[in-house]
Amino acid sequence: MFEATLKRVFGYEEFRAGQREIIEAVVEGQDVLAIMPTGGGKSLTFQLPSYLKNNGLTIIVSPLLSLIEDQILHIRERGERGVARLTSMESLEEKQEVLNHLKRFRFLYLSPEQLAVPYVTRALANANVQMLVIDEAHCISQWGHEFRPEYARLGELRKQIGSPQCMAVTATAPENVKRDIIEKLALFTPAQFVHSANRPEIRLIVERLEKEEKIGRLKALVRDIPKPAVVYTATRREAEKLSSELEDAMFYHGGMSTEDRRLVQSQFLRDEVPIMVCTSAFGMGVNKDNVRSVIHYQIPATVEAYMQEIGRAGRDGNPAFAVLLYAEGDERIQQFLIDQQYPKDEQIRNAYFEMENGSTLSQLPRLLRMGEDDPVFLLLKQLLAERSLQEAIDWVKDRKRARYRQLGQMMDVALINTCRRAYLLRYFSEEKVDQEDCCDVCGPIVFPETPDLVRKNVTEWKKRLTQIFSFE
Ligand SMILES: [Zn+2]
């Protein structure tokens, strides 16, 4: 029966490794914690049970609008119309329309903020919810690499909508994050599925360089390395700058409009662009099997981010390459980015001072000169609600220290003189594996000589892009 549904709804002949066990647990009504690598087919594991049960609504909480858009696109593409979303993009009327007709839908995607809106919570409390899915569940943990304060309330919201069956999914979660997910979501003796973080088809390479050598090395590397290739940078500006210096490259980052991002992404998906220079915004939910190489021009902030990003290479199972270019001091940009994600002591003091002196929460953004949607402000708001001034200051200090420590662990990947794969697996509490073509420490890694992609459209898209972004 599982296979028949798989074929009929999704058009696949067989399950990928691990999918079936998860679906069985879901169908039995168990709470589930599934840790599956990016590209392992996790969305299928919470979508397929809906067709087996045909009873009620599956709610999927997802942290990013782009992720929600991608998933809905995929669902619609296979002809499913019973899917809706509640995000900051919908008007109040559109939201009401969805909430008034919940019976029409099989899947409802929403952001954690939307689930917390009282009239949304109420409507869902009265609906027939079959399952609550928390995607990117690691965001719930303060020890995770992408902690989101809005995720912290999900356990309580789950209760408010009647404690439906719950499935938490994420690509990576070390032991302490796993424990946090189970506790915060109040998962009841969950069935746990952990797929190895190891991606044997990806060869791991670190090149240590001087700062001035990096751009030259990158240019040579993208000539030699098998393509399609993704080059990750830490900032939007860097992504734009590098893409202008490389031939046949386009850039992608979260600051572009949805249309521009979609255009660039689809060209890359169709192999019309061999090199994509991007920030970490790229790749979430992108289904491209034949990416051959991922280059990090700057060191990522965490081992989790690194694994997720290199995991976009070699999904077809064929050999792929991950190259990290590291120059001493590269970590400073990440330190700077971490600092920017937290309120400064002075901002915290000002916020508490204002509140004590009779200001209201809604006046606060103006008084502190912060946007009301600014994640730093949202965090500040949460601190105000839960902690005293000194506790808030200490909490931020602790968090930053933890983030620096994570950055340090990522730097170890670049600096160690022992097997990099063994280090990464140990990080995820896994045993080391012995394999050929492992990493540059274990033995030299040679790029195969592959013919370049057909570039029939290169001139065409360069022209089009110039018109769109006018960067020339
Ligand atoms: Zn190795």
Confirm whether 346 is domain-assigned.
no
Q: If we measure between CA atoms, which residue out of 42, 90, 43, 45 comes closest to residue 65? A: 90
Q: 8-17, 161-170, 272-281 — which is least confidently predicted? A: 8-17
CA of 202 relative to ligand 1 center, distance in Å = 11
Query: Cα of 197 to ligand 1 centre, how many Å?
Result: 15
Residue 469 has pLDDT above 60, yes or no: no
Residues 294 and 434 placed together within one structural domain of the fold = yes
Closest CA to 52 of 15, 14, 105, 9: 9
Question: What distance in angstroms lies between residue 12's CA and the mean position of ligand 1's atoms?
Answer: 35
Mean pLDDT of 147-152: 83
| 424 Cα: distance to centroid of ligand 1 (angstroms) | 10
Instruction: Please check whether residue 153 is in contact with residue 185, taking contact to mean a CB–CB distance below 8 angstroms.
Output: no
385 falls within a domain:
no
The reply to whether 245 and 96 lie within a common domain is no
Ligand 1 centroid from CA 433, angstroms: 9
**Within a domain: 320:** yes
Residue 262's pLDDT is 87
Ligand 1 center to residue 441 CA distance, Å?
6
Residues 190 and 255 in one domain: no
pLDDT score, position 39: 58
In this structure, the answer to whether residues 232 and 184 fall within a common structural domain is: no
C-alpha 446 – ligand 1 centre gap (Å): 14
Residue 359 in any domain: the answer is no
Percent of the chain with pLDDT over 90: 64
pLDDT at 472: 33
147-173: average pLDDT: 91
Q: What is the mean pLDDT of residues 47-52?
A: 95
Question: 185 with 207, same domain?
Answer: no
How wide is the angle at C-alpha 158 spanned by C-alphas 394 and 151, nearest 5°?
35
Q: Does residue 339 belong to any structural domain of this protein?
A: no
Structural domain of residue 315, as residue ranges?
Answer: 202-333+408-468
Q: In this predicted structure, which of 1-15, 251-265, 450-464 has the lowest mean pLDDT?
A: 450-464
- Mean per-residue pLDDT for 334-350? 94
Q: Taking the mean position of all CA atoms in its chain, how far away is CA 373? A: 20
Where does the pLDDT of residue 197 fall: very low under 50, low under 70, confident under 90, or very high at 90 and above? confident
292-309: per-residue pLDDT in tens?
Answer: 999 999 999 988 889 889
Asked whether residue 114 falls in the same domain as residue 247, the answer is no
Among 62-76, 322-336, 428-442, which is the least confidently predicted range? 62-76
Residues 61 and 149 placed together within one structural domain of the fold: yes
Task: Give Cβ neighbours of residue 432 (< 8 Å, ≥ 6 apart).
Answer: 419, 421, 422, 425, 426
- For residue 304, what are its two tokens? 């989790």
Provide mean pLDDT across the span 191-201.
89
Is 7 in the same domain as 30? yes
Is 377 a member of any domain?
A: no
Determine, yes or no, domain membership for 378: no
Tell whether 117 and 206 lie within a shared domain: no
* 73-92: average pLDDT: 89
For residue 66, the model assigns a pLDDT of 76
In order of 43, 173, 176, the CA distances from 428 in angstroms are 22, 7, 10
CA distances from 209 to 298, 326, 389 (A): 12, 6, 44
Strands (E), 111-268: 129-134, 165-170, 191-194, 202-209, 229-232, 249-252
How far apart CA 180 and CA 154 sit, in angstroms, is 12
**Domain stop point among 133, 161, 194:** 194
What is the CA(365)–ligand 1 centre distance, in A?
50
In a shared domain, residues 293 and 423? yes
- Integer Cα distance of 40 and 173 in angstroms: 15
pLDDT score at 374? 85
Statement to judge: residues 65 and 164 lie in one domain: yes
Least reliable range by pLDDT among 50-54, 55-59, 304-308, 464-468 = 464-468
Q: What is the pLDDT of residues 364-414, one digit of tens each?
A: 999 999 998 888 898 898 889 888 999 999 999 988 998 899 899 999 999
Interval between CA 325 and ligand 1 midpoint (Å): 17
Please state whether the predicted TM-score (pTM) of the whole model is above 0.85.
no
Quick one: pLDDT at residue 462? Answer: 52
**End-of-domain residue from the set 194, 218, 253:** 194
Domains in the chain, number: 2
The pLDDT tens digits of the residues spanning 231-279 come to 999 999 999 999 999 989 999 998 898 889 889 988 999 999 999 999 9
CATH number at residue 311: 3.40.50.300
Q: How far is the CA of 212 from the centre of ligand 1 (A)?
A: 28
Å from CA of 420 to ligand 1 middle: 5
Average pLDDT over residues 25-38: 90
Q: Which of 194, 227, 258 is the last residue of a domain?
A: 194
Please state the rounded mean pLDDT for residues 138-156. Answer: 82
**Which of 37-51, 94-108, 240-254 bottoms out in mean pLDDT, i.e. has the lowest?**
37-51
- 287 vs 370: which has the higher pLDDT: 370
Looking at the fold, whether 219 and 261 belong to one and the same domain comes out as yes
* DSSP output for 160-199: HTT--EEEEEES---HHHHHHHHHHTT--S-EEEE--S--
Report whether 59 contacts 124 (CB < 8 A): yes
| Top-ranked range on mean pLDDT: pick from 9-18, 275-284, 393-402 | 393-402
- Residue 423 CA, ligand 1 centroid: distance in Å: 9
Establish if 10 belongs to a structural domain: yes
- Ligand 1 midpoint to CA 443 (Å): 7
